[in-house]
Each structure stands twice: as C-alpha cells, then as structure tokens.
Chain A
C-alpha cells in the first residue's frame, strides 16, 4: 500500500472517531428530544432550559471556584516540591521521586471514597480525633474540602513540568549568577524561577482545566450536600426529568467543551513557549545541590506529609474499611475484622466481570490502543505537510471532552450507527471510548519516542531503496520498541485507573472496576466498593512496580 494512502486512511479513521461523537453531541443539543425518537425537531428549547436552570449556573460557579482554588494550592506546592527535589540535598530523593508521581495514577474515586471512610463524619480518623478532642472540626462534604483534596492530588502535574524545566536549565546559567555574587536563594528566586515560569504557567492552566473535568471527587464529596459541579450536574441530569433528557445533557456537554477548547488552546500556546526556554540550555554539567542545612529534615517531612495526606490517609482508610464489618463511634477494631467483603465479591458476578474486564482492557486493550496510537504517530512522523496541523488539532479535540462526556458521546454513537449497536453491550465500546479519550496522550507518548530516532537512520533506509512503509517497518518501529513498551505500561495504568469514561457505557458485559464502583457507591454498597477499590489499587501497584522495575519514566 502506498504510504500516502496509509496516511489518508489513518487520518480519515481518526477524524471519524474524533468528529463523529462530537458532531452527534452538537446535533443532539439542537433537538427537542432524544435523537432516536420519532418526531424530533430542531429547536433551541434545550439550550433555553439549561441556561434558565439555576442549578446549571451554580454548578458552573462552583466549578470555577474549585478549579481556581485547586490551582492556587497545587501550583505553589508543586513548585516547592520540584525545587526541593531538583536542586537541594533533601534526603531520600530516590525514594521520594516515584512516590511523588503516585497520585497521578490513583483513581480519583478511590481517593474520594478513602477520604469519606477516613475523614468523613464517622470516618476512621474522625472518630479517633473525636475520642481525643471531643469534636470533629472539619467537614469532608464541602466545597472547601473538595478544593483542598483536588489541589493536593494534582500537585504531581505541577511537579512534573516544573522539575523537567528545572533539570533542563543549564547549570552554567545558575553558576554564572553565583559567580557574580548572588546567594543560592537569590539565584533560585531571580534566575531559576523566572526561567521556569513558562512551564509553571503551563502547569497552572492544565490544573485549572483539569479542575473543570473533576468528576469523582465532587460526586462523592459534594453530592450528599447537594454541591454540584459541571460534570456532576451533567450526571444528575440523566434522571432529572424522569425520561432520558439527552438534549439537555448534550447542551451541558457543549457548554463544557466550549469552556475547555480555549483552555486546551492556551495550553498549546504555553507549551510552545515553554519549549522555547528549553533551548536556552547550557552544558549539562553536574551541579552540586543546594545545602538546606537545618531545613533538610523539615523539607523531607513536608514532602512526606503531603504524600500521607493525599494518598496515605485515603488508601489506608479504604483498605481498613475493606476488612471491617462496620465502622463508627465506639467500634473496637479487633471485634469487627473480617474478610467477608472479599468473599462477597466472588458471589457478585458483576464484580468478578469488572475485575476481569479491567485487566483485559488494561493489557489487551492497552496493547491494541498503543498499536492504534503507533499507526497515527507513524502516519504523522516527519511529515512535512499542512495536514499535520489538521491531525494535530484532531488529536487534541478529545482532550477537551472529559471522560464522562466522551463515554456519553460514545454511547450515543453506538446507538446512532445501527451496525455498531450490537457492540454497545460489549467491552469494545468501552475500549473505543478509552482509546479516543486518551488519544492525545498516547500519540504524544509514541510520537515522542519516534522523534528520538535520528532522522538519518530513516533517510539511510530510503536511500538504499526502502519505501516509506518499509522504513517504518524495518527501522522506525524496531527502534521505537522500548518506548512503545513503556507506552503500553503507562496506558495500562491509565486504563485501569479510568472510572468516568465507562460510566454511561456501564451495563452487563461492559463493567469495569472504576465505573462499577461509582454505580455501587450510589446504592450505598460501601463494603463491596471498598473491596473493589483495594483491588484497583493493587492492580495499579503491580503496574507501577513493574514500570519502576523496568525503569519506565512515569511521564511521557
């Protein structure tokens, strides 16, 4: 097959996979009923309904508050962590380094459940605290709590971009400042920080954007008190009118996408400008870390404290909850210990299906997804053409759809296109949704690996007589193999962590741990949920351990 044909085919398939769902949503938003019903007409009713709904505006405002607040928490903390890790002699770096990235791979619902069982009104730590002090001075079900927790769990994103920028900064730039008479702290504030500002800014916009996507945390922590954000408003809308109000959901989705697109675009611009700074790189000389002196252990304690609060407490909470019959005031641990919840899982076919499906979609599905991302990356690889811009934007579009929305769009697509409908109740639908949602991330992972291959290795192939396709097969892919394996591991972690994308697709045959937990939590089956959550954490730990063992960089 000529390479041009391959490119056109990949572009066409990608375009339909990306544009069809979004097109269907926009189409649905202008109808007065679900698209599959007879007698639906074009109308602006749905827009009118949503825009006149006070709940929508309240949810929008809450979303902005939460997104802004978590940015204000995550950015300074992430920058401090990055600086401590990249520039100082804080103890235990090699042990802290992977730890800091762990929250990225934790499912937000697992953490949310964990916070409820640990710090909720009758949570494990709350009751302990009450025993000692007589009161519980915090409320987990509040906008403040959601914001703080979201902020803490998003620190790794800021950390990643900032520390990468700090490491790229040539040591000579800082040494030059030292030789002209600046103290180490002065250098940090007046040289290093300004140089990494573009990266920090990029991370800030990313966090704000992720704040709009928040779903698991506000669902678990906000819903009991009627606190809604955009994504949970959308979720609640499902049953608002008693009948499937697809047109209303479509309008909300359109609103979410309209907010997301400029943010995604802004990220692109900032990313480009932050990479401009990277080229201001000096020689990679070994630099001696800043001596923190007496602050060494307090700095270490700060990092550990952050980790304990954002991962340790919830995971410990959910793990403990999964092995006790009940919890509340005056309960003695030794009397309530049990493994019954895990035994119950075995009798609950949905749960077993969910576990099997999750592993399947992570391993087999992840591998096929990486295969798809590889095809896209190959088609775009070193292509000098205006079409690469088109492809670039196509890849970005799913980024502007939160997982919940993408899942919904995929559900509609499978209902709308009749030949696909039989696949709706199979894992294929979930896999398609996952693959599309993580398209940008996956393609960037694989394409990044391919870009590290010297262009002359491919040109050598062409010049001795290999076609583009042959070069891709014999040179590019074999040389990118390690990177693709790493991509597979990362995609595995992300697919296992997923919960929101599968929610609307949840049904017999399509259960995955993430979406099943959300659904079970709604029914109050906390025993099952905590056991499932622990299993989810365990699968992810195995993946993480494997990744660390193989030396995979945990960020693309």
Chain B
C-alpha cells in the first residue's frame, strides 16, 4: 500500500506558479528522492507535505488519512499531520538541551515522564549520540546536530519522515559517511522517507526512487538506474551525471534509434524525448562511456587531444574537433595528437535542442 500519495499539487506565490501539478506516490519502506535544480519546487513540495505551505489545488494523503484536499477544503495544520521533518539547518532549539529537543515531541503527546526518559534514551542510543543528551546544540558538531535533528523527528514514530537537504550542511568527507549511515538507518527502522536534494549522486545513492523536478513539474521519475541509464529528456539526461554535448542535426529517427549528423560525420544513437528528422539536436553522452578506439570505424570521430587533467584515480582528457569538444575519462595518460573516439550507440542520446 502506498504510504504517501501526492496528487496533482499546484501552488503559487502571488502570480508565480511554483508547482504546476505534481503527482507521486511513496511506498511503505521506500526512500524517494526529490531531485532538481534550485527553483524547481522540490523544497516547496516537501513543505506542502509538511503543511508549512498551502497549495491551492490537489490532494495529499498519508496512510489513508487526507492531509490536504483543495477541492474539499481540507488542510490539516502541520502539528496535526504527525510527520517527521528534518530541516536543512537542523533547526535545533538553541535554548533546549539535546534531551529536551528530542523529548519535546513526546511531551506534546502527553507521554509520561519516565516513558519520555526511556524513549529519548532509546532514540539517542539508536543513532549513537546517547552520551550527548545533556549538551546544548551549539556544543555539538554539524554531524552530531544532524543526528539530533533526526532523533527528534523519529522519536514519535511518524509514518513518513521528510528530509530537506539533510546532508548539505556537512563537509564533503562527512557527507559521504552520513549518506551511508542514513540509508542504513532508514532501511533498518523500516521507515518511509521523502528526501529533498539537489545532488544527483546523493539521490542515486540514497533513494529507491527518484522524482526529478524541473520548473514545478515532474520531468521524470523512476529507479536510479532508469534515471541514469535511460533519461527521457535532454534536461534529465544532462542533470544526471557528467556529460558531453555535441550539437548537430537529427536524422533517421525511429522509436528505437536516431542518428546525429555532425557535418559530414554521422553517429548512431537512441532518441531521447520527442525529436524529429532534420531538427537541430544535441547528442548527449556520459563522460565515462566515450572511449579511445584504435582506428576508424562506425560511430567514431577523429578528434585532437588538447588538454589533460590529473584527477587522482584517473585522467580527464579534452578532445576537440572544430567547434565540438569532448571530455573523457582515461586510466592512463595518452600521447598527444589525433585519436579516434568511439561513441557507443546505446550510450548516445539524441535530444531535440530546445
């Protein structure tokens, strides 16, 4: 059964439409990532679910309980929704200790004093910060604050937990650790989570499903593999991963194939989104899919090596051919001059140049 159903949510500030009809479902035990660039409406959607923003149309249902229904005039206050929300800034109350921060939701629910103690202790222990209960938030590190914020959102066992950019305030190293830890914790506790992020790597690592938002509409949704391996539009193709973009014209478009004409050269690929013969088009291919070939052949271009960068575990090489430039990863340095680059057909998407 779906834990959370969001149906055709629309929201505007004044005359600016932020959400233009977003729908999605969250199955029990799943993590769904709301991914998108800034201004795409992902945080607004999360805040709509939390009850902190009021849409003007649509429906939000959690475990059979209607939280919002524009048509029937239902809009439960945030405190009546019983969800867990972890803020980007963690929003720990600076005047309360860690214990009091986490105990507050229980006290609001009339839990008796001794139960509060045991439940808070259990929540803090389960995320490894039991020894910090007496501290104030400003005495904690960023990672510890994040754990407290999570404990506060989990302690009353909400059906769905909402995470707003949960890792963005941590430094790079800590972020990767926290990602693993968070993913593990959510699956261990069997939680359903909705998580906002602008980082596609983070989304793919953490989520069972990704909802890619762009300009207030859902651009594409699916599993991380689907999103990365089979994008449905130029936007989706370019938002996920590191890409090369080749400008040309589309030709021989069929449902299962499309060609990209680059002057006198021709590359076979897959159509991505609606694209027509003769139309200006972009060929999009992930950096890691382009490879150096030993000689001419189909789907190969002769290009000149113009720059190389050492990235530690590999090299990034830049090739040019006229106006076109292509970046590739290579395990080793290669000699300068001209090389043949192969663009595998199943990795090259031909998208209409919007």
Contacts and interface: CB of A to CB of B under 8 A. Distances in A.
A463 B79 contact: yes
Interface stretch (A139-147, A309-317, A470-478, A522-530): A470-478
A460 B85 contact: yes
A466 B87 contact: no
Given A456-B89, A474-B104, A463 B50 contact: yes
B89 A466 contact: no
A462 B95 contact: no
Nearest to B95: A478
Nearest to A459: B52
Contacts of B105: 464-465
A461 B91 CA distance: 9
B240 interface: no
A479 interface: yes
Contacts of A467: 77, 79
Contact of A460 (B82, B93, B108): B93
A457 interface: yes
A137 interface: no
Contact of A466 (B52, B88, B108, B153): B108
Nearest to A462: B78
B248 interface: no
Nearest to A470: B108
Interface in A319-346: none
A454 interface: yes
A353 to B, nearest CB: 41
B159 interface: no
A464 B50 contact: no
Nearest to B78: A462
A247 to B, nearest CB: 48
B91 A462 contact: no
B152 A464 contact: yes
Given A464-B104, A464-B105, A475 B83 contact: no
B contact face: mostly helix, strand, loop, or mixed = loop
A300 B85 CA distance: 56
Nearest to B54: A384
A464 B93 contact: no
B interface residue count range (under 10 / 10 to 19 / 20 to 34 / 35 or more): 20 to 34
Given A456-B87, A463-B52, A479 B78 contact: no
B51 interface: yes
Contact of B85 (A454, A457, A463, A470): A463
A544 to B, nearest CB: 29
Contact of A463 (B83, B94, B95, B109): B83
Contacts of B84: 463-464
Most chain B CB inside 10 Å of its own CB: which residue of A460, A464, A465, A466 = A464
A460 B95 CA distance: 14
B156 interface: yes
Contacts of A457: 91, 93-94
Among B50, B51, B92, B105, residue most surrounded by chain A Cβ atoms (within 10 Å): B105
Contacts of A456: 87-89, 91
B259 to A, nearest CB: 51
A383 to B, nearest CB: 14
Nearest to A460: B91
Contacts of B78: 459, 462-463
Contacts of A461: 93, 104
Which of A456, A465, A475, A478 has the most CB atoms of chain B within a 10 A radius of its CB?
A: A465
Nearest to A464: B105
A462 B76 CA distance: 12
B91 A464 contact: no
B79 A462 contact: yes
A460 B155 CA distance: 14
A454 B104 contact: no
Contacts of A479: 93-95
Contacts of A474: 104
A465 B109 CA distance: 8
Interface in A435-466: 454, 456-457, 459-466
Interface string B111-155: 000000000000000000000000000000000000000001100
A228 B152 CA distance: 66
Contacts of B82: 465
Nearest to B89: A456
A411 to B, nearest CB: 43
A475 B79 CA distance: 14
Contacts of A468: 77
Contact of B153 (A464, A470, A478): A464
A465 B50 contact: no
A479 B138 CA distance: 14
A169 to B, nearest CB: 28
Given A459-B52, A460-B85, A466 B91 contact: no
Contacts of B152: 460, 464
Interface string B247-288: 000000000000000000000000000000000000000000
Contacts of A459: 50, 52, 78, 85, 87, 91
Contacts of B95: 478-479
A267 B228 CA distance: 57
Nearest to A458: B91
A281 to B, nearest CB: 21
B156 A465 contact: yes
Interface of B: 50-52, 77-79, 81-85, 87-89, 91-95, 104-105, 108-109, 152-153, 156, 162
Interface of A: 454, 456-457, 459-468, 470, 474-475, 478-479
28 contacts: A454-B89, A454-B91, A456-B87, A456-B91, A457-B91, A459-B52, A459-B85, A459-B91, A460-B85, A460-B87, A460-B93, A461-B93, A462-B52, A462-B79, A463-B51, A463-B52, A463-B84, A463-B153, A464-B79, A464-B84, A464-B108, A464-B153, A465-B79, A465-B109, A468-B77, A474-B104, A478-B95, A479-B94
Given A464-B152, A465-B82, A474-B104, 11 more contacts: A456-B89, A459-B52, A459-B91, A460-B87, A460-B91, A462-B79, A463-B51, A463-B153, A464-B79, A464-B153, A467-B79
Q: Which 4 pairs across A and B sit closest by C-beta, in order of nearness?
A: A462-B78, A464-B105, A460-B91, A463-B85
